[in-house]
């Protein structure tokens, strides 16, 4: 009986996908539903949760700190897109070029930062961007005669530090995505283009970029999500979740502050749902524009 | 073939990234564990204890040995876990919320304590074990960790705020710290120090409220009114911060890396002699001995300057309440041990010896053989005896209340307001009005 069940062609596929479905249901669907429910509740330590309707959401709309967190996350996301898509693509093309010298060396050294722990990297970056005269960045600035700056206390310089950390860490990863995309482009196209007299730039614009589109869409999608959900980098850079004037506060950071630090899980759940909505809307729009939902020809 | 290799590499990488993305919490907060047996036998009960200060574990180790010797039938093994400050409180909060995974005994810092008293506290009442010692200890320190007359935490120290002066720098400028009585004196001295040495007299704190608390206590005010409602734009608060701002404008104070004296960055600044004074609670002494060894023999302790002579010169700052959780294995045992380890006279003497704190049993303050022990590391480090200063200000140590609004007040002041005032030069009144509005909004 068991044998027939296991060998049945109809059942087998379900058995194989079952582990995934279970993991998905337990670790994604259940928490999602439960946080949706919690976002309409007031949860107090040691007491039954009370339903309070949309109170959490109406409070969010006027919560200046939350709006600041959204602003920070959005700005960070946009700037990481601007930096972390074109440059890795360019590097990938350069490294992919046969004439390039030391390709393996560059490949591994670009990728290396992704292997270090964010905790360690964040701490090092905090020291590099320290406000003391002797910190690395201030020593460099001193060479140009610029006075010491308090990098982690001002909005612009704080964002620069965050972006520096992100760029250092993710350039190599995105570059690898693009490199694997490049491997899929047949050499014939380039040869044909060469015969027709196309310049290198034309080949890049007319062959490489369009054929990298699937990879680009993938990188774009995960970058949007990663940008909006950034948290640990900020936490490590400011040695905690409370940066001066909240310049490093992100949406997830605010969720953490409300839910974990202030024991206000209902409100934090509402923050999480808003983050989910924002991410979904941006990504679905983006995917619709880039044609992911169109039927393949 | 090449293609396939790439594919495998890529999938491995994405797997690694995926896993590291999910495993965020695991890398930072393992904490360090150690089991203290303190001479306990086979039958000892094992209790777990969480703290965010490694030294607290050392104190418990000493007291545990004494407890096990005195109570052969109720011996204890203590399982100590030391975690970073935020991590520990967050984990404890989640454990208490869910009802599983909490330790038997835990340290909770004063700034976080009100959050654990929200709703129905998941902590045991400690009234019965505190009662025998109630007369010997400072009442206000117990009240800090209480709600509706129930005591939930046992204090570690009084935390009387004092001034620490680097006399090397002062000597260079020809300043005698003992003549500094009021903030006006301090300002004159500071201007002299800046003129002669180019160094700043003290710090303008942006990430802590020690200074603001001191100035409020001097004026008999507080961050909250009698009902516990926030009043951070009170005239007293405006006066306090205006005073500090004026000191900053005349180069007496300057902001410090890290935002306040009790940070790693600031230890370095003080250790290299860039600031001549700090106003901090008494426990700052242990930071000097541990992290600022270059200053050994150069630091003197004195009462804090006041706005007008006759005002109280200190307040009790910071603190840690040790609690027994509702899920503790053996509640009574944990409570009895805790009282023994933190409230008995022996414990109070050890708290000074090991931790360098001002113990809550004030009788200890006058035990010459304990406080003036020439072998004590704190007595050796400082120029004058810390307890001479403590006994001088003994009756002037005021209390800044801890209320349900306190964590929010602290958060707004220390992340936004103080930065706006001391870093951006925003108008004091305006900044405080904004803070009050923000705090009220958050507490709604």
In a domain, A253, yes or no: yes
- Asked if B119 and A45 come within 8 Å (Cβ–Cβ), the reply is yes
Residue B11: half-sphere exposure toward Cβ, Cα within 13 Å: 5
Q: CB atoms < 10 A from the CB of A185, how many?
A: 15
What local confidence, expressed as pLDDT, does residue A101 receive? Answer: 83
- The encoded tokens of residue B318 equal 């910071």
How high does pLDDT run on average in chain B?
89
What local confidence, expressed as pLDDT, does residue A291 receive? Answer: 76
Q: Helix axis angle, B284-291 relative to B264-271, nearest 10°?
A: 70
**pLDDT 10s digits, B299-356:** 999 999 999 999 999 999 888 999 999 999 999 999 999 999 999 999 999 999 988 9
Worst-scoring range by mean pLDDT, B83-87, B182-186, B249-253? B83-87
Better-scored residue on pLDDT, B203 or B13: B203
- Give CA–CA dist B417/B412, Å, rounded: 6
- Asked if B90 and A114 come within 8 Å (Cβ–Cβ), the reply is no
Query: Is the Cβ–Cβ distance between A46 and B419 less than 8 Å?
Result: no
- What is the residue-wise DSSP string for B142-175? HHTTEETTEE--B-----BEEEEEEHHHHHHHT-
CA-based torsion, B37, B39, B41, B47: positive or negative: negative
Which burial class, exposed, middle or buried, applies to B385 when counting CB atoms under 10 A from its CB (0-12, 13-18, 19+)?
middle
**Chain centroid to CA B12: how far?**
46
Chain A positions touching B414 (Cβ under 8 A) are: 242
In a domain, A198, yes or no: yes
**pLDDT 10s digits, A12-65:** 888 889 999 999 999 999 999 999 999 999 887 667 788 998 999 999 998 889
Instruction: Look up tokens 């308090």; give the residue.
Output: A150
In a domain, A20, yes or no: no
Topology match between the domains B37-158+318-379 and B161-317+395-443: yes
Indicate if the pLDDT at residue B29 is higher than 60: no
- Give CA–CA dist A271/A258, Å, rounded: 9
Worst-scoring range by mean pLDDT, A142-146, B23-27, B79-83, B275-279? B23-27
Strand B202-203 to strand B253-254: parallel, antiparallel, or no bridges (unpaired)? Answer: parallel
What local confidence, expressed as pLDDT, does residue B38 receive? Answer: 77
- The encoded tokens of residue A154 equal 């001002």
**pLDDT 10s digits, A64-96:** 899 999 999 999 999 999 999 999 999 999 988
Instruction: Look up tokens 């809307």; give the residue.
Output: A281
Chain B positions touching A150 (Cβ under 8 A) are: 255, 423
- Asked if A132 and B7 come within 8 Å (Cβ–Cβ), the reply is no
Report yes or no: B268 at the A interface, CB cutoff 8 Å: yes
- Give CA–CA dist B94/A173, Å, rounded: 34
In a domain, A6, yes or no: no
Q: What is the domain count for chain A? A: 1
- Asked if B27 and A117 come within 8 Å (Cβ–Cβ), the reply is yes
Report yes or no: B398 at the A interface, CB cutoff 8 Å: no
% of chain B at pLDDT higher than 90: 69
How high does pLDDT run on average in chain A?
88
**pLDDT band of B85, cuts 50, 70, 90:** confident
Q: If contacts are CB pairs under 8 Å, which of residues 74-113 in chain A contact chain B?
A: none
Task: For domain B37-158+318-379, give the CATH superfamily.
Answer: Periplasmic binding protein-like II (3.40.190.10)
- Give CA–CA dist B151/B126, Å, rounded: 5
Indicate if the pLDDT at residue B23 is higher than 60: no
What value does the mean pLDDT take over residues B90-109?
91
What value does the mean pLDDT take over residues A283-289?
88
- The encoded tokens of residue A190 equal 């380039």
CATH of the domain at A108: 1.10.3720.10
CATH class label, B161-317+395-443: alpha beta
**pLDDT 10s digits, B263-307:** 888 999 999 999 999 999 999 998 999 899 999 999 999 999 999
- Asked if A132 and B268 come within 8 Å (Cβ–Cβ), the reply is yes
- Asked if A150 and B268 come within 8 Å (Cβ–Cβ), the reply is no
What local confidence, expressed as pLDDT, does residue B30 receive? Answer: 54
Distance of residue B120 Cα from the nearest chain A Cα, in angstroms? 5
- Give CA–CA dist B146/B143, Å, rounded: 5
In chain B, where the domains are located? 37-158+318-379, 161-317+395-443
Better-scored residue on pLDDT, A102 or B236: B236
Structural domain boundaries enclosing A251: 39-289
Q: If we measure between CA atoms, which residue out of B106, B213, B89 comes closest to residue B156?
A: B106
In a domain, A19, yes or no: no
């Amino acid at each position: 009986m068991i044998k027939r069940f296991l060998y049945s062609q109809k059942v087998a596929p379900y058995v194989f996908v079952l582990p995934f479905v279970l993991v998905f249901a337990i670790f994604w669907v259940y928490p999602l539903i439960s946080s949706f429910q919690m976002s309409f509740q007031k949860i107090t330590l040691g007491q039954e949760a009370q339903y309070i309707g949309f109170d959490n959401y109406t409070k969010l709309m006027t919560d200046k700190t939350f709006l600041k967190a959204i602003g920070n996350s959005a700005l960070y996301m946009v700037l990481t897109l601007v930096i972390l898509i074109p440059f890795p693509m360019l590097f990938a093309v350069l490294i992919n070029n046969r004439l390039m010298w030391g390709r393996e060396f560059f490949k591994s050294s670009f990728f290396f930062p992704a292997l270090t722990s964010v905790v360690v990297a964040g701490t090092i970056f905090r020291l590099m961007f320290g406000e003391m005269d002797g910190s690395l960045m201030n020593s460099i600035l001193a060479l140009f005669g610029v006075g010491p700056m308090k990098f982690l206390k001002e909005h612009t310089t704080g964002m620069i530090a965050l972006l520096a950390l992100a760029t250092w860490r993710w350039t190599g990863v995105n570059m690898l995505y693009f490199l694997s995309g490049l491997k899929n482009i047949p050499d014939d196209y380039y040869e044909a283009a060469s015969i027709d007299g196309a310049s290198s730039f034309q080949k890049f614009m007319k062959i490489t970029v369009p054929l990298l589109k699937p990879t680009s869409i993938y990188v774009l999608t995960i970058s949007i999500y990663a940008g909006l959900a950034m948290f640990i980098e900020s936490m490590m850079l400011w040695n905690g979740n409370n940066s001066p004037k909240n310049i490093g506060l992100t949406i997830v950071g605010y969720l953490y502050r409300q839910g974990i630090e202030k024991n206000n899980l209902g409100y934090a759940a509402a923050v999480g749902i808003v983050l989910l909505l924002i991410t979904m809307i941006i990504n679905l729009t983006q995917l619709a524009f880039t044609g992911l939902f169109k039927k393949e020809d | 073939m090449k293609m396939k290799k790439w594919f495998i590499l890529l999938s491995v990488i994405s797997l690694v990234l995926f896993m590291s993305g999910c495993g965020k919490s695991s890398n930072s907060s393992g904490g360090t564990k150690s089991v203290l047996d303190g001479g306990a036998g086979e039958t000892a009960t094992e209790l777990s204890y969480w703290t965010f200060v490694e030294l607290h574990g050392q104190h418990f180790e000493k007291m545990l040995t004494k407890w096990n010797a005195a109570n052969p039938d109720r011996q204890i093994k203590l399982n100590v876990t030391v975690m970073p400050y935020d991590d520990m409180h967050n984990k404890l909060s989640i454990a208490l919320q869910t009802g599983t995974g909490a330790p038997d005994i835990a340290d909770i810092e004063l700034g976080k304590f009100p959050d654990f008293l929200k709703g129905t506290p998941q902590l045991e009442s400690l009234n019965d074990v505190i009662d025998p010692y109630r007369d010997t200890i400072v009442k206000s320190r117990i009240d800090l960790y209480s709600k509706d007359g129930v005591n939930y935490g046992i204090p570690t120290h009084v935390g009387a705020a004092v001034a620490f002066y680097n006399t090397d720098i002062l000597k260079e400028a020809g300043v005698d710290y003992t003549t500094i009585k009021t903030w006006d004196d301090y300002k004159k001295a500071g201007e002299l120090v800046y003129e002669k040495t180019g160094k700043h007299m003290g710090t303008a704190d942006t990430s802590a409220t020690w200074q603001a608390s001191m100035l409020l206590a001097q004026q008999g005010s507080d961050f909250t009114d009698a009902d516990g409602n926030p009043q951070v734009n009170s005239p007293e608060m405006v006066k306090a911060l205006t005073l500090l701002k004026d000191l900053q404008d005349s180069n007496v104070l300057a902001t410090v890396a890290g935002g306040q004296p009790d940070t790693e960055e600031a230890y370095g600044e003080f250790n290299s002699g860039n600031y001549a004074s700090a106003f901090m609670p008494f426990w700052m002494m242990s930071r000097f001995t541990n992290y600022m060894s270059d200053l050994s023999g150069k630091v003197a302790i004195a009462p804090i300057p006041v706005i007008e002579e006759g005002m109280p010169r200190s307040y009790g700052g910071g603190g840690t309440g040790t609690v027994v959780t509702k899920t503790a294995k053996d509640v009574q045992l944990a409570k009895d041990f805790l009282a023994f380890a933190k409230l008995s006279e022996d414990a109070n003497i050890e708290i000074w010896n090991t931790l360098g704190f001002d113990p809550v049993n004030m009788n200890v303050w006058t035990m010459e053989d304990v406080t003036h022990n020439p072998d004590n590391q704190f007595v050796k480090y400082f120029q004058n005896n810390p307890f001479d200063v403590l006994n001088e200000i003994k009756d002037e140590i005021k209390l800044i209340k801890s209320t349900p609004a306190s964590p929010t007040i602290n958060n707004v002041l220390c992340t936004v307001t103080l930065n706006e005032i001391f870093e951006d030069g925003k108008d004091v009144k305006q900044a405080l009005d904004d803070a009050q509005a923000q705090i009220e909004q958050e507490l709604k």
